[in-house]
Amino acid sequence: MSNRNKENNAEHFIAVFSTLDMIEAIGITEYLKQNNVPAFIVNKKDTVQLHITTGEIEVFVNTKDVIKANYLLDKKFNSDN
């Protein structure tokens, strides 16, 4: 397989949510998955020095699912009020 074909087959992901709270990130990830949007967490916090809160925890989805994910998140956060 050529490099060009590998690039076309590669999945691309984008962060749709970020937080400092792992529990919140897990909840958002599960909410998206329950609505048929595969999602995963990337923890960018500094794990060496836990007392320093640098970085965030981000929830990523495939670029093809960004619109649906943003719609679901907007619906979730606006209906909680």
Task: Quick: pLDDT tens for 18-69.
Answer: 999 999 999 999 999 999 999 999 998 765 555 555 678 999 999 999 999 9
Per-residue HEC secondary structure of the chain comes to: CCHHHHHHHCCCEEEEEEECCHHHHHHHHHHHHHCCCCEEEEECCCCCCCCCCCCCEEEEEEHHHHHHHHHHHHHHHHHCC
Give the CATH number of the domain where residue 39 resides.
3.30.70.1530
Please name every residue paired with 42 in a beta bridge, in sequence order, or none if there are none: 58
Question: What is the domain count for the chain?
Answer: 1
Banded pLDDT at 8 (limits 50, 70, 90): low
Residue 5 inside a domain? The answer is: no
Residue 18 inside a domain? The answer is: yes
Strand pairing category for 57-62 and 39-43: antiparallel
The pTM assigned to this predicted structure is 0.76
Residue 37 inside a domain? The answer is: yes
